[in-house]
Structure 1
Amino acid sequence: MYVDWEYYKIFYYVAKYQNFTRAARVLGNNQPNITHTMNKLEDQLHCVLFIRSNRGVTLTPEGETLYARIASAAVQIQDAEAELSASATLEHGAISISATETALNICLSERLQAFHAQYPGIRLRLSNHSTPQAIQAVKNGEVDFAVVTTPAEPGGELKMVELMPFNEILVGGQTFAPLAGRTLSLRELTAYPLIMLGSESMSRTFYRQFFLENRAELKPDIEAATTDQMLTLVRSELGLAFVPEPMARGNLARGRIVQLDLREHIPPRSVCLVYDHHRPLNTAAREFRLRLLNTAQK
């Protein structure tokens, strides 16, 4: 049996208020139409749902049974409508992002802060991944999008958009301050302990290629898991390291570390947004991705 859902909706309000006129007012309708619709519903269901009186209506046992079912459905529909409305207005929602440490520190965190200040009801879920892991998370549909650092190879149908370029610099602890007045070559670095990220990182791939192009051999003495760890090791006088200039500024300004000049020019790197343009996003994720893209265009 097919019964128009609108009939059940009207029945719900008539049963809730036990009055045709009041239900009509809530629904923005008129009492004759409401009465006519309820008569049609009773005909289609082959039972009497209401007992009419001058004071309003009361439900028959059949009406009580139907109302118990309809009321539950109506409340769930109203909750869903409210949830969708809140999501559409960015009152509620969630964004899932995979980000590399450098991308988070020098680009993403500031943009997330501004977005969260405007839309505090949006939940943020961040995953700390290497660039290859972050790209794989996008491919697997585990996150809405990723913010990574180059070199990056998204492949397939993923899109990659540059958000901002950044430069890396060579730094050392205070014991290396005498070197600050010199210009070092990559080959000369073999005489000093070198701190780098692990061999699986894209940063390591980047510097391996950089050294190779300049006929120098890359032999790190210490491997760290994160750039923050590298800076800590540099401050502890354990060696030299290539780090993103924005992440080194604080330590440089406080005199904790020194910047060393390098003869060879370190190619610039970039923070990039990686996403699957075929994958639909919720309102919050779509809005934040749009903001990132708009920033990239400036």
Structure 2
Amino acid sequence: MQVYQFDMVIRMNISYDSYRVFYYVAKYRSFTQAAAVLMNNQPNVTRTIKNLEQALGCKLFARSHRGAELTPEGERLYEHISRAFAHIQTGEEELTAERGLQGGVVTISASEISLRCCLLPLLRDYRKRYPGVRIRMFNHPTPQAIDVLKNGLADFAMVTTPAEVPDSLQERTVMEIQEVPICGAAFSELWGRRLSLPELAEYPLICLGPNTSTFAFYSDFFARQTLALRPDIEAATADQILPMVRGQLGVGFVPESFLQDEGGYSDIRRLDLKTPIPKRKICFLKQRRQYLSRAAKELEAMILDACADYELGGQDSV
């Protein structure tokens, strides 16, 4: 005969309020003081503890001249209950701080160009208003930034076009940027001339790698003039292009604002192309059905204000 063994789990229907009363009696070792903290009366506190002891089948307190002493069973229970209440109180404090924007966390996934050209000044203003909010920043190329947002790992994303945005995400344009070709003195023969793209393509090119929207953008730009984009140097980040150009390694493409951020660029020159580089857009993305904390909503409102300025024609307001 086969014998079956069952593990029996007894679930007790004990209310949170009962454990709350137990927590304060155990904390202060006093029924009277616990009643005062709970704004209750002592008979109700005593009755609640008796009911809890009956439900658990053990004695939790032993009264003495020193007050209410915990029994060994009470000590074990208090060890668990005190940890639980500490977590609850921490959660309540965090939510209260977040409501007043004295705390909280905002998580953003952003491409490097969108971070430098658009997001940094917004974050600076946000930090001035809400210094208690922590900002968690993921720096990704546009495709990865979109994936992070789709997977719910960020509150929203800031990306540069071209971008394949799925229907599950909302998209708003924040601003447009103009990128320009630049080179150093090693290629000074290019300075002061109107250049065709085929002429420029004869020189060593510096560009981001194939897994970026920047590479896709310039691949399309070159293809429209029946050229293939074949960078001699692939930079890992947009921030690396300007130092590489200054190091005389080749011709690069950077947003105009990168040059302004450097406080002048006497050691490099902006080149003049006969066919201008099309403008790119920086876009704000969020999930259509995603809960945002108060802290995230406030930053979203600032970004959407910038979007509204762009839509009204004030692209330079960011």
Shorter chain as denominator, the TM-score bin is 0.7 to 0.9
Aligned to 1:164: 175
Aligned to 2:194: 183
Give the SS at the match of 2:175.
Answer: strand
| Closer/same/farther in 2, CA of residues 131 and 70 from structure 1, 3 Å limit | closer
Residue 178 of structure 2 contacts residue 279 of structure 2 at CA under 8 Å; is this kept in 1?
yes
1:241 pairs with 2:239: no
Residue 149 of structure 1 contacts residue 269 of structure 1 at CA under 8 Å; is this kept in 2?
yes
Measured in 2, the distance between the counterparts of 1:140 and 1:49 equals 47
1:255-270 to 2 correspondence within 5 Å?
255-270=266-281
Aligned to 2:306: 295
| Closer/same/farther in 2, CA of residues 289 and 46 from structure 1, 3 Å limit | same
Residue 130 of structure 1 contacts residue 202 of structure 1 at CA under 8 Å; is this kept in 2?
yes
Deviation at 1:244, TM superposition (A): 0.6
1:66-85 to 2 correspondence within 5 Å?
66-85=77-96
Over aligned residues, Cα RMSD in angstroms? 3.3
1:168-225 deviation line (CA, Å, top 9, x unaligned): 1122223555644333332432454433333343222212222333x34244452331
Aligned to 1:222: 232
Measured in 2, the distance between the counterparts of 1:237 and 1:82 equals 55
Deviation at 1:91, TM superposition (A): 4.2
Aligned to 2:40: 29
| Closer/same/farther in 2, CA of residues 27 and 224 from structure 1, 3 Å limit | same
Deviates more, 1:200-209 or 1:177-186: 177-186
Residue 251 of structure 1 contacts residue 257 of structure 1 at CA under 8 Å; is this kept in 2?
no
User: What TM-score does the superposition give when structure 2 sets the normalisation length?
Assistant: 0.76
1:146 pairs with 2:157: yes
| Closer/same/farther in 2, CA of residues 69 and 169 from structure 1, 3 Å limit | closer
Residue 14 of structure 1 contacts residue 23 of structure 1 at CA under 8 Å; is this kept in 2?
yes
Residue 195 of structure 1 contacts residue 220 of structure 1 at CA under 8 Å; is this kept in 2?
no
1:58 pairs with 2:74: no
1:130 pairs with 2:141: yes
Residue 146 of structure 1 contacts residue 273 of structure 1 at CA under 8 Å; is this kept in 2?
yes
1:114-161 deviation line (CA, Å, top 9, x unaligned): 334444554444333221122222223343332211111122412222
Aligned to 1:174: 185
Q: State which of 92, 112, 115 in structure 1 corresponds to 2:123.
A: 112
| Closer/same/farther in 2, CA of residues 174 and 24 from structure 1, 3 Å limit | same
User: Counterpart of 2:255 in structure 1: which amino acid?
Assistant: P
Measured in 1, the distance between the counterparts of 2:76 and 2:272 equals 83
User: What TM-score does the superposition give when structure 1 sets the normalisation length?
Assistant: 0.80
| Closer/same/farther in 2, CA of residues 57 and 206 from structure 1, 3 Å limit | same
Give the SS at the match of 1:297.
Answer: helix
Residue 104 of structure 2 contacts residue 295 of structure 2 at CA under 8 Å; is this kept in 1?
yes
Calculate percent identity across the aligned residue pairs: 43
Q: State which of 178, 188, 194 in structure 1 corresponds to 2:205.
A: 194
Measured in 2, the distance between the counterparts of 1:148 and 1:293 equals 14
Measured in 1, the distance between the counterparts of 2:132 and 2:126 equals 10
Measured in 2, the distance between the counterparts of 1:152 and 1:194 equals 23
Measured in 1, the distance between the counterparts of 2:300 and 2:77 equals 46
User: Counterpart of 1:115 in structure 2: which amino acid?
Assistant: Y
User: Counterpart of 1:262 in structure 2: which amino acid?
Assistant: L
Residue 187 of structure 1 contacts residue 216 of structure 1 at CA under 8 Å; is this kept in 2?
no
1:16 pairs with 2:18: no
Give the SS at the match of 1:181.
Answer: coil
Measured in 2, the distance between the counterparts of 1:173 and 1:111 equals 32
Aligned to 2:312: none
Q: Which runs of 5+ in 2 are unaligned?
A: 1-11, 310-318
Deviation at 1:163, TM superposition (A): 2.0
| Closer/same/farther in 2, CA of residues 195 and 56 from structure 1, 3 Å limit | closer
Q: Which runs of 5+ in 1 are unaligned?
A: none
Measured in 1, the distance between the counterparts of 2:176 and 2:42 equals 66
| Closer/same/farther in 2, CA of residues 51 and 297 from structure 1, 3 Å limit | same
1:280 pairs with 2:294: no
| Closer/same/farther in 2, CA of residues 245 and 37 from structure 1, 3 Å limit | same
Measured in 2, the distance between the counterparts of 1:119 and 1:10 equals 37
Deviation at 1:27, TM superposition (A): 1.6
Residue 186 of structure 1 contacts residue 216 of structure 1 at CA under 8 Å; is this kept in 2?
no
